[in-house]
Amino acid sequence: MLSHPTTLPGDAGEYVVTQHYDQYNEVEHGTWKTLYEKRMEQLSTHACREYLEGLQVLGMRAERMPVIEQINQTLRTRTNWLLLPVSGFLPGRTFFDLLASRIFPVTTYIRKSDSLDYTPEPDIFHDIFGHVPMHAHKVFADYLQAFAQIARKIDNDADQERLGRLFWYTVEFGLIREGGDVKMYGSGVISSVKEGDNVVNRGCGVHDFTLEEVLDTHVKVDELQPVLFAIDSFEQIYEATKEARKIFKV
Active site residues: 126, 131, 172, 191
Give me the helix-helix angle, 138-151 and 157-167, nearest 10°: 170
Find out whether 110 and 65 touch, Cβ atoms under 8 Å: yes
> If you count DSSP H runs as helices and E runs as strands, how many of each does the chain have, helices first?
11, 6
Distance, in Å, from the CA atom of 205 to the CA atom of 195, rounded to the nearest integer, reads: 13
170 vs 66, 186, 194, 230, 236, CA distance in Å? 24, 6, 18, 9, 11
**Closest by alpha carbon to 75, among 148, 3, 133, 4?**
133
Residue count of the chain, please give it. 250
